[in-house]
Amino acid sequence: MYATRRLATVVVGAALLLGSVSGPAASHSEDSGSKGMGKGNSGKRVLVFSKTAGFRHDSIPDGVAAVRELGAAGGFGVDATEDAGAFTPGNLRHYEAVVFLSTTGDVLDSAQQAAFEGYIRHGGGYVGVHAAADTEYDWEFYGGLAGALFQSHPAIQPATVEVEDRAHPATSALARTWNRTDEWYNYRSNPRERAHVLASLDEQSYTGGTMNGDHPIAWCQNYQGGRAFYTGGGHTKESYADPAFRRHLLGGILYAVSDVQADCRPENGYRPLFDGTSLDGWQQAGPGSFTLSDDGTLTSTGGMGLLWYAGRSFGAYSVKLDWRTTAAGPSDPGDDNSGVFVGFPPSDDPWSAVNNGYEIQIDATDVPEKTTGSVYGFRSADLKKRDRALNPPGEWNTYEIRVEGERLRVWLNGVKINDFTNTDPARSLRDGHLGLQNHGADDQVSFRDVRIRELPGQGH
C-alpha cells in the first residue's frame, strides 16, 4: 500500500476507533521488558517508551492508545513499555523506530544508552513527542538526536503554528498555518542549523515564547545513520483525539520507519520564488496553464506549456521545490509527465526551454534517460538511489537542483541522484531562467513552495 493511501486509511480508521473508545486502550505489553517484544507481527514494528523519572504527563496513556490505533489501521505493530530493560541490542533489533512518548529525566543507564546509540547508528528510527525533549540532559548523543532540549513553558494556550515544510508526511496535509491549543515548549537551543524545521510557532500569537521570533516546534533530521523526528505537541490528552495531530504524529512515525522519504537536511538561506500565495514574477508560455488552489498548490492543466520565472535569471544557485504526481489507481497508472527546466533564455515559446535549457524530468514510466530524476535525454539518474528515495504517485517529493558553473546536480528527498556537466555552449547554465512544465492535457502534476538560495560563483 502506498504511504499516502496509508495515511488516509489510518486517519479514517483512527477516527472510527475514537468513536468506540471511551478511555485509553489497554497497553498489552506495558512494563513487559524485553520478553515477547517485537513478535507476532510480520510487518514493521514500533516500540513506544514512556518511562518518567521526573514530571509525569497524564496524557501518556492516551498517547500510547493513539499510537496503537494508528499502527492497527496503518499496518505496523506497536509494543509499549516503561521498562528500560527493553533497550538491549537484541531487542531493539525487532523495531524500525522507537517513540519516546513524553519521557522525562534520566531513563536509561549507560549500557542501555550504548545499545540505543548502536541502534540509531545502524539505521534505527527515533520519534520524540513533547517531553522527549525533557529527557537525558547529560547524554550528549541523545541531545543531538532530539535536536533541542526543554528550557521552560508558559501556560497551556492557543497558538498559531506556521508550517514551513509542506512535503514531509508529518506536515503535508496541514494548511500553511495550524491553530491549536497545547503546552508550548521553549528550548535551550535552536535546532535550525542542524535539523530540518517542519513547523514553528508564531510567538506573536501567544504569550510566553522566549526564542526571539524563531521558534521551531517540529523538525526532522538524519542523525549518525538514523532517522529522527520530533514534535513539541502532545502535552494534552485532547491532542491524541485530534485528527490533525494524529496525522502529524503518524507522518513522523512513517518517516522514522522509512515507509516514506523526505528531505531532512537543514535548510537555511532560501527565499521564496513561489510561496503559494502569489505568482508575481512568473509568466505562462504556451497553451497549457496551472491552477492555483486555496492551499497554495499549483497543478498543471491543458496542453503543452511552461510556467517560468521571468523576474530575473540566475547563475549559481540551489533551487528547491516540492512536487507530486496524481495517485495511481485502476484507471490511472500514475504515468504523469512534467519537469523542471533550468538555464534557458526568456521566451514566450515553451520550446525555447526545451531547445536551449535542461529539463529535470518527472515521469514514472519512461526510459532511464527520460524518467524521474534524469536530465531529460542527456543523463539518467542513478536508478537504484532514485528508486530508494522516490515516493510513489499521490505523495509529495522534494527536488533540490543545484547549478554551479556548468555543473548540474539533483537531489531527490535529500539523496543525490544525478550529477551532470554541460559541454554545449548553446545550453550554458551560467545564466538562465527557471520553469515548470505543462506536458499535456492528460498529465496532472502539482508543485508547492519553489524557493532559491544563490551561491557564490560565476553566473548572474
Residues 188-228: pLDDT tens digits? 999 999 999 999 999 999 999 999 999 999 999 999 999 99
Domain for residue 392, yes or no?
yes
At 338, which CATH number? 2.60.120.560
Same domain, 105 and 224: yes
Q: How many domains does the chain have?
A: 2
Give the pLDDT score at 7. 56
What is the rounded CA–CA span in Å between residue 430 and residue 441? 33
Mean pLDDT of the 180-195 span: 98
What is the rounded CA–CA span in Å between residue 174 and residue 396? 13
Phi, psi angles (nearest 5°) of residue 168: -60, 140
Give the pLDDT score at 58. 98
Q: Name the residue among 92, 74, 76 with its Cα closest to residue 84.
A: 92
Domain for residue 264, yes or no?
no
Domain for residue 74, yes or no?
yes
Checking if the pLDDT of 34 tops 90, the result is no
- C-beta separation of 167 from 322 below 8 A: yes
pTM of the model: 0.91
- C-beta separation of 107 from 52 below 8 A: yes
Same domain, 103 and 211: yes
Instruction: Give how far Cα 151 sits from Cα of 60, 185, 189, 315, Å.
Output: 21, 7, 9, 43
Domain for residue 263, yes or no?
no
Checking if the pLDDT of 36 tops 50, the result is no
Q: In sequence order, what are the residues at sequence separation of 6 or more whose Cβ sits closer than 8 angstroms to the Cβ of residue 298? A: 274, 290, 291, 292, 307, 436, 446, 447, 448
Same domain, 244 and 309: no
Same domain, 235 and 295: no
Q: How many CA atoms lie within 13 A of 421 on its CB side?
A: 2
Give the pLDDT score at 334. 67
Task: Read off the pLDDT of residues 404-417 as tens digits, 9 standing for 90 and up.
Answer: 999 999 999 999 99
Q: Which domain holds residue 383?
A: 271-454
Domain for residue 420, yes or no?
yes
Checking if the pLDDT of 42 tops 70, the result is no
Residue written as cell 507522518?
A: 251
Checking if the pLDDT of 242 tops 60, the result is yes
Same domain, 348 and 373: yes
Q: In sequence order, what are the residues at sequence separation of 6 or more whose Cβ sits closer than 8 angstroms to the Cβ of residue 176? A: 162, 163, 166, 276, 295, 296
SS3 7: helix
At 229, which CATH number? 3.40.50.880
Pick the more confident residue, 45 or 439: 45
